[in-house]
Amino acid sequence: MKNINYIGEHLLIGNIGHAFIVLSLVAALVSVVSYYFYSKEQLTSDWKKIANYSFTIHSISVIGIAATLFFMLFNHYYEYSYVWQHSNNEMPLEYIMSCFWEGQEGSFLLWSFWNVVLGNILRKTIDAKWEAPTMAIFALVQVFLASMLLGIYFGDYKLGSNPFILLRENPQFADMPFVQMENYLEKLDGRGLNPLLMNYWMTIHPPTLFLGFSSTLIPFVYAIAGLWKRDFTTWQKPALTWTFFSIMILGTGILMGGAWAYEALSFGGFWAWDPVENSSLVPWLVMVGAGHVMIINKNKGGSLFMTHLLAIASFLLVLYSTFLTRSGILGKNSVHAFTDLGMQGQLVIYVLTFILICVILLIHDKLIRISYIIVSLLMLFFGITFGHKVALLLGWMLISLVLTIYSYMKFFPKEEEEESLYSREFWMFVGSLVFLLSALVITYFTSIPVMNKLFQGWLYESEKAGIKVADYNMWQTPFAIIALLLVAITQYFKYKKTDPKQFLKHITLSGILAVVFGASAVIPLYFLKDYSSSSTTEKWNLISYALLFISALFAVFCNLGYWMRILKGNVRHAGASIAHIGFALILLGALVSTSKKQTISQNTSQKNVASLGDNFSAKKSLVLTKGDTLPMGNYLVTYTGKERKGIDVFFHMDYFKKDKDGKLVKAFHLSPMVQDNPRMGQASNPDTKHFIGSDIYTHITYADLSDNKEVKADAYKEPTNFVGHMRDTIFADNAIILIDSITTNLTEEQYSQNDSLLVVTAVLKATDINGNIYRAAPKYILKNNMVLPDEFELNELGLKFIFWKINPNEGSIEIQMSEKVNNTKEFVVLEAYMFPFINVLWLGCLVMIIGTIIAIIERRRVNKLKAQ
Amino acid sequence: MKKIHILGIVVIAVAIGVIFTSLQSSSTYSDFAEAAANPDTEYHVVGKLNKTVPVQYDPKINADECSFMMFDNKGIEKRVVLHKSVPQDFQKSEQIVLIGKMQGDEFHANEILMKCPSKYNDGKPQV
């Protein structure tokens, strides 16, 4: 192969990037080793120094990798595959950040970056006793993340995926002609960002979510360090603040995702139980459980196993969800999972490694510990060489589970006395368990593709499909109800023992208020109209909605009561109550806006498909022709035209309301948009009018995006031929035409005598949309056995007819009809929904975040006071 | 028996309940032949759009119905009636998953999932 001197490539910067990647990996490895030895011998300051330096070097390298990639994107260095794949010349500056984390490599880098930020804060603020063990685990996670960017081949096996490979070295494009061209860079433009992601949410949602993912790491490293040093309690106090920080940030990230889906993507809602959404919700649920058992531990002691289990599980579930979304295993089940980069094996190994470490640390018997390690390694070796991976994996999981239970029974400290039924700790524990269970159910449902991989053809034959949204809702509603009831009452219990009478006295008023207000809202919402006509499952759903509604109100009233009456309105101490109110409002808003979501666009088609089942009866598409005004919910809507701005095509809709005199008054204007990206296809962006009480959401499902300015509106289109009999109808775009009668100037007898001129007139009756009737009379003229062309123009309707043939044998006639171009009015097909009280959901989000922040600030203040 | 044991039993009961119901109720990926054998059961059929036959969609008659030909994974071709508007970029789809039932010789779907490679990693460097 000849050497080509490519023109205009910037190779130095790529080499710098590579160097940073290798350096970050090596430094993280050194860090792990040195923190490990530092943790063994607290006095040896040499290890401490090495550990500190290496982690600093690692941090600088990670920032260096990020800076390098950003620099490349900013300067459009398309010689690099990642830059070419994710950006282009038209890209506005604010989306350069989005390009950064659109790809897998970039998002791993973002994750690693946040870890470095948090890791440095952690090691500067942490108690000296916990620094070495926590940071050793922390650095180990960084080793794994750094290796994700490595992109080195071991034989056929590729470890990681490198963001700095050159476009011409990307195996995907190896046989493309540009690889042989010296000057390929001169005209090359990047592929650009997915149009769905060209959105300001894409600039704020991923960084927040990944900060959330990173934040789960800190409780995890504390818990592992606790197992390792067999000190199960002292780590919990410093970790508690981090846990609630994680709950706050991860929660914000998830809700931003929901808001994005609602505002900018055409999901038709804020939550679709998509595997990708679930896999961020699950760690959050577990983290909330962890936070609450840690509070029990802090105030009263105990719940040791549960704190470790949940703090560890949350991060492991982040890893597992990384595996789900990045390995391509969700392929058929999720619209927005990443495509496979061949890192499936690597991701599985990482998840398993951390489970292995946890179990090893849990076992307090040297012999069992060593045997477990040896067996695990043997199984890994056997799996790689001989296969049977599924059986080995399941076997290993079983061994690990048995050892975990055994170690818990044998080595783990347990409380002697049982918690009282009238104690706060008991109900908080139950609450955490409910969160964990809810998370496990979601994980199980989301993992169906994984189970297909493991069990299909063994436990069952045909591949199982994903769980439906309705099933998710059905399963999660009871958990939500129990969680809300616990959120309502638990604060009124005291630790250890509570006077039952006092407790009942406290919650009675809130209970009565919740039932009274709840019933008066729920009965008209769910029982007056819908209930009697619905099926049995539907009835159960409605009952569960009602219960959820009342429990949410109960939770709001109870926590408001606790804040006002017991805390006397003090804000500083009310973090928990406020956050709980927010949580209840989120569920309330989600419930009402989803269960009472109304399709206001109505399909007027007469076709009935209800016989196919419930799922088929939803008619929600409305055809709106330019200039027409159609009723939609409480409004009348007019489509006024489209407008193209670059690749975005906006469709303008005016919404009218009738005033008292029945006159139409314009209420508001919406411009849903369809992006027409030449390289990536179309993407529909909804537009939503926000009111305090409800939202009106409109999105285009079908439209003609082309601008037909070049065609003259007055010209006639190609004619179409109709073969018909008397009383048949012909459909034009703007009228229905009936063949009313046919008359001739001659009788059959006269014609058979071969008279020279025959005139047959077809009398056509055209009825337009407004019911006006027009007549047309095209003539069939036969002279000396020749058909003379004759056109009949119906100017009022812009139609032209030629009656050109008679088929006497069939008794039919043939008519050609031409329509004017502007008869075919432009139209769009749209779906529109009304979401009632969705603002309660967003308000709840805000309140919950604020409450959590107040609680974190208060906890830090108290910790500081105690330290003095 | 301690309360914690009761909680444990509840947890296990819920776990078994979940596994059992999901195994019972979740539908499976299948093909036209199996769907035709059980016309009352809902199936997920995976396949490819036959791009040589035009997709029929006339919003003026029914905006919530379109119809097209699809090959399932066994290569059997059937007409599909999708009770929705035509999905965007339908012609570019690489793989489609339909959820619905077989009615006579037509498959009636109420839900469609598409894989469009174009949105994610299609496109080659053009100079």
Same domain, A530 and A642: no
Give tens-digit pLDDT for A302-312: 788 889 999 99
- Residue A707: pLDDT band (50, 70, 90) is low
Residues of chain B with pLDDT under 70: 1, 24-26, 116-123, 126-127
- Residue A586: pLDDT band (50, 70, 90) is very high
Option in A430, A441, A465 nearest B29 (CB): A465
pLDDT for res A480: 94
Same domain, A74 and A159: yes
CA distances in angstroms from A379 to A187, A388, A402, A405, B111, listed in the order given: 53, 10, 16, 21, 43
Residue B124, number of CB atoms within 10 A of its CB: 10
CA distance A54 to A32: 9
Give tens-digit pLDDT for A337-356: 555 566 677 888 888 999 99
> Which of A485, A487, A490, A492 lies closest to A506 in space, CA to CA?
A492
CA distance A9 to A83: 13
A683 contacts B88? CB cut-off 8 A: yes
Calculate mean pLDDT across residues A570-593: 92
Task: Specify the number of domains making up chain A.
Answer: 4
pLDDT for res A30: 95
Highest mean pLDDT among A17-26, A146-155, A627-636, A684-693: A17-26
Q: Considering A175, A198, A221, which residue would you say is the last residue of a domain?
A: A198
Report chain A residues whose CB lies below 8 A from the CB of B97. 332
Average pLDDT over chain A reads 85
3-state secondary structure of B95: strand
pLDDT for res A566: 85
A339 contacts B120? CB cut-off 8 A: yes
What range does the domain containing A690 cover? 617-704+827-836
* For testing contact with chain A, the best of B30, B42, B62 (most A CBs within 10 A): B62
Would the pLDDT of A565 be above 90? no
pLDDT for res A712: 60
Please, what is the Cα angle at A162 between A159 and A165, to 5 degrees?
130
A462 contacts B29? CB cut-off 8 A: yes
Give tens-digit pLDDT for A738-772: 888 888 877 666 666 666 678 888 888 988 777 78
pLDDT for res B119: 43
Higher-confidence position of A788 and A241 = A241
Would the pLDDT of A564 be above 60? yes
B118 contacts A196? CB cut-off 8 A: no
For chain B, the domains span: 28-120
B125 contacts A178? CB cut-off 8 A: yes
CA distances in angstroms from A106 to A99, A109, A117, A662, A731, listed in the order given: 8, 5, 16, 57, 56
Range with the lowest mean pLDDT among A130-134, A605-609, A625-629, A809-813?
A: A605-609
Q: Which residue in B has a C-alpha nearest to residue A80's C-alpha? A: B125
Same domain, A79 and A185: yes
Would the pLDDT of A868 be above 90? no
Q: Are A161 and A341 in contact (CB under 8 A)?
A: yes
Option in B60, B111, B119 nearest A680 (CB): B119
Higher-confidence position of A796 and A769 = A796
% chain A with pLDDT above 70:
93
CA distance A431 to A690: 35
Q: How far is A680 from chain B (nearest CA, A)?
A: 5
Report chain B residues whose CB lies below 8 A from the CB of A620. 64
Q: Considering A131, A166, A198, which residue would you say is the last residue of a domain?
A: A198
- The ipTM of this complex is 0.86
CA distance A494 to A209: 35
Option in A332, A605, A616 nearest B110 (CB): A616
A607 contacts B62? CB cut-off 8 A: yes
Q: What is the DSSP secondary-structure string of A612-651? A: G-GGG-----EEEETT-EEEETTEEEEEEEEEEETTEEEE
Average pLDDT over chain B reads 82
Q: How far is A785 from chain B (nearest CA, A)?
A: 42
B61 contacts A683? CB cut-off 8 A: no
B121 contacts A85? CB cut-off 8 A: yes
Would the pLDDT of A211 be above 90? yes
Domain B28-120, CATH class in plain words? mainly beta
Angle between helices A500-522 and A536-561 (to 10 degrees): 130
Highest mean pLDDT among A50-64, A186-200, A248-262, B94-108: A50-64
CA distance A159 to B75: 37
Q: How far is A43 from chain B (nearest CA, A)?
A: 43
Give tens-digit pLDDT for A511-561: 898 899 988 888 888 887 767 777 777 888 888 999 999 999 999 999 999
% chain A with pLDDT above 90:
31
Same domain, A48 and A167: yes
Give tens-digit pLDDT for A99-123: 888 888 898 999 999 999 999 999 9
Report chain B residues whose CB lies below 8 A from the CB of A619. 64
Contacts of A811 (CB under 8 A, 6+ apart): A725
